[in-house]
Amino acid sequence: MKLDKYTVGKRYGKALFNLAMEEQATEEIYQQLLSLRDVYAELPDLGNILSDTRLEPNEKRAIMDKLVLHYEGTIKKFLEVVFNYNRMDDLLLMIEEYEHRFGEQQGLISGVATTAVPLSEEQKSKLEVKIAQYLGYKEAKLANKVDPSIVGGVVVEANHQVIDGSIGKQLETITRLIKK
């Protein structure tokens, strides 16, 4: 039975985090994973190229050799395992799972705040404090995504939860109450 991408990401990310805990290297590995995420941001199709049949195995190996050249130790071994199991297109999900576990360990939570207009730094900071308190964390780091379709308010996605404080949601609630 083939596993879905989400399950694969969770399993690999959890295994890497557990190994990092054993090696007492959670922060170091986290920083290396962030640099890998940057590589994938610059080359968004990299995972697919290394996982599908577009290239011959020796061509994929050459690309992989250039990638792992910048890493050593546990991350390098981890990348080799992911590559050998043809899962490089799932790497971002693995990083996401590791980041989630690392955040739990550190009392940090990451997420996305979607608003109709960009948040100022002051607004973002206040929102991060409120979200951290609401979800029971020491600190929250939120990326701001702009989506004019929500009209106003904010929708926060963090820790696999959605907190919908958008005007659209409020109008929907009022409409539902009126129809009762």
- Give per-residue pLDDT as tens, 63-76: 999 999 999 999 99
Do 64 and 143 belong to one domain?
A: no
Do 115 and 166 belong to one domain?
A: yes
Do 87 and 150 belong to one domain?
A: no
Task: Give the pLDDT of residue 1.
Answer: 61
Domain closes at, from 36, 70, 103? 103
Percent of the chain with pLDDT over 90: 72
CA distance 166 to 153: 4
Q: Which CATH number characterizes residue 45's domain? A: 1.10.520
51 in Cβ contact with 88 (< 8 Å): yes
Do 71 and 95 belong to one domain?
A: yes
Which candidate, 63, 91, 89, places its Cα nearest to that of 75? 91
Residue 157 carries which side chain, given as an amino acid letter? E
Q: Cα dist. 173→143, 157, 165, 176 in Å?
A: 27, 20, 11, 5
- Give per-residue pLDDT as tens, 111-139: 899 999 999 999 999 999 999 999 889 99
Do 86 and 99 belong to one domain?
A: yes
Task: Give the pLDDT of residue 60.
Answer: 94
Domain ranges, residue 141: 108-179
User: What is the average pLDDT score of the chain?
Assistant: 91
Do 27 and 59 belong to one domain?
A: yes
Do 72 and 136 belong to one domain?
A: no
Do 150 and 128 belong to one domain?
A: yes
DSSP 72-113: -HHHHHHHHHHHHTT-GGGHHHHHHHHHHHHHHHHTEEEEEE
Whether the pLDDT of residue 169 is over 90: the answer is no
Q: Is the pLDDT higher at 126 or at 3?
A: 126
Question: For the chain, what is the domain count?
Answer: 2
**Residue with tokens 């929102």, as numbered in its chain:** 127
What SS3 class is residue 179? helix
Q: What residue ranges in the chain does DSSP mark as E strands?
A: 108-115, 139-146, 153-158, 161-166
